[in-house]
Amino acid sequence: MKQPETKKETGEYLNGLDLLDKISDITRIVDPVKKRVIRYHNSEIDVEEIRCFDFWGKNKVCDNCISMRAYHENTTYVKIEYNKDKIYMITAVPHSLDGRRIVIEILKDITNSYVLDFKNDAVVDQTIHMLIDNMNKLAFSDSLTGLYNRRYITEKLPVDLLNTALSSTHLSLIMADIDHFKKVNDDYGHVAGDDTLQNAARIFTGCLKRESDWIARYGGEEFLICMPGADLEAAKKAAQRMRQALEDAVTVFEEKEIRVTASFGIYSPESTINESVEELLKHADEKLYQAKRNGRNRVEY
């Protein structure tokens, strides 16, 4: 009977396999907050003028950025993504380099590794791309309203904050809360309350005019609207549109008409250079509660 290999023999065997080449087609170091690719040469860190998401050809920050999640939670994450006609498995591994946290991205082309029983290659590509888009969307979607969820806020807001600070542009946050929402649940039931929240989400989304703006369900009946590049005046106009549209709207549930209003708090600092995510949220929340104290169905800033 063959004796088990010693640790030394096993190590020599593994070292001779070029494992990294077998599990990775592309390996890169990224700073997920700055969205930049990093070179590490001669013990020095050099941030390249290449945005990490440029590889995917979508010209925007990935909604489901697992490198950002790996960075924040110091845990390895894996996902599937596509780039034109290729399907990749991406592994994001957090690592400490010269006192700063970076993420090592391992990209493996698995285009010819998955098995699906389709006769039409075009159908395969379309189906795979649709499945990947749906999975990535679900990771950051609130199941009730279809808006972004709290996780998205945690991972996207720091990126927007940094980008506006670096480009010396504005960033405005709007915190919105449905007034007396508990009464809706008490009077009509929680299903009616869910319908009311869904309707509010549709109304708020329809009031945003810029592609860079995004909205997330912050929790319960509270919503967060982020407007990168928007100053206070632009945020005030957006909040007033949302406030008026919701006031004018009717949610019909079992032949009953439900009307609600919302209060809005805006925080739009002159400069975001010295701001933190926590401070942004805190100040927006303070303005929201000021709107509540001053009578509700109003905008405070």
Question: Among residues 221, 254, 255, 286, which one is catalytic?
Answer: 221
Determine whether 221 is an active site residue. Answer: yes
> What DSSP assignment string belongs to the chain?
-PPPPPHHHHHHHHHTT-HHHHH-SEEEEEETTTTEEEEEETTEEEEEEEEGGGGGT-SS--TT-HHHHHHHHT--EEEEEEETTEEEEEEEEEEEETTEEEEEEEEEE-TTT-----S-HHHHHHHHHHHHHHHHHHHTB-TTT-SB-HHHHHHHHHHHHHHHHHHT--EEEEEEEETTHHHHHHHH-HHHHHHHHHHHHHHHHHT---TT-EEEEEETTEEEEEEET--HHHHHHHHHHHHHHHHH--EEETTEEE---EEEEEE--S--TT--HHHHHHHHHHHHHHHHHTTSSSEE-
Catalytic residues, by residue number, are 221
